[in-house]
Structure 1
Amino acid sequence: MEPRIAKIFDAYPEKATFVLMQCRQAVFDIAQEYELGAVEETLKWGEPSYFVKGGSAVRMNWKPNQPDCCFVFFHCQTKLVSTFREVYGDLFEYQGKRAIALRLDAPIPLDQLKHCLSLAMRYHSIKHLPLLGC
């Protein structure tokens, strides 16, 4: 992990770091499982951002003004979050058309989150399918 990104993770509270590191690992696991190629890990708007060729970027963050949640952000002009709502209903908390909020005091539905991340990471090859192929 690049030092600038590690510094961001190190600044989070311990619970937030644990949750977001699980999300980060899921991104790399999905890239390998689906043979999506290298994951580009950068900072966008001061937040860790992940991108693979043919996918839609995913960002993640914890914010001090909303200390009970971590957020996984998706491009708001895609069908991603609306598809997650359709498929998973109230399993997740959503922030408009742009994010899944993960409560720090609740278990992470990791399998379902990995599915959501995989849809984002394969977005351009599945965006034409109803419910992104779900």
Structure 2
Amino acid sequence: MTAPIPPQTLAVFASLPGPLAERLTALRAMILTTAQANPAIGPLEETLKWGEPAFLPSTTKAGTTLRINRYKKSDDQYALYVHCQTDLVTRYKELYGDILTFEGSRAIVFDTYKQVPTAAVEHCIAMALTYHLRD
């Protein structure tokens, strides 16, 4: 079961076109479900960073912050953002460069009207939320 959406996140989603808000709601659920499935991650703190819904395993400090929002004010694209000083996007590209789209060192970009490759995205989420546990 996915946690209720906090008011600050609801406000962000309410400001977006319906299809985009639906996709971000689904991505939020994927983040929470992925975290819940891995005991090393622990509970996530859900807040806003730079006006965007953000998720951080603050209790365990196992990983880095994930943010989600529309991509560059587009009504047709949204993104999963990671801290740009990590090597996560480089690692994502090595694993999923043929099925995911990226922006620089900070984001996986999705098209609102295309299917999300769920297994790949869940793996990327898990990699971010356990980033400080590797090696």
Greater helix percent: which structure? 1
Question: Once superposed, which parts of structure 1, at least 4 consecutive aligned residues long, lie more than 4 Å away?
Answer: none
Identity %: 33
| Mapped partners of 2:34, 2:42: distance in 1 | 10
Match of 1:87 in 2: 95
Q: 1:24 aligns with which of 9, 28, 47?
A: 28
Decide whether aligned partners of structure 1 residues 24 and 116 sit closer, same or farther in structure 2, where only a CA change above 3 A counts.
same
Match of 1:132 in 2: none
Structure 1 segment 1-134 matched on structure 2, within 5 A: 1-35=5-39, 36-52=41-57, 53-63=61-71, 65-126=73-134, 128=135
TM-score scaled by length of structure 1: 0.89
Q: When the two structures are aligned, how many residues end up with a matched partner?
A: 127
CA-atom RMSD in angstroms: 1.3
TM-score scaled by length of structure 2: 0.88
| Mapped partners of 2:130, 2:38: distance in 1 | 9
Q: Tell me, which stretches of 5 or more residues in structure 2 are unaligned? A: none
Q: Tell me, which stretches of 5 or more residues in structure 1 are unaligned? A: 129-134
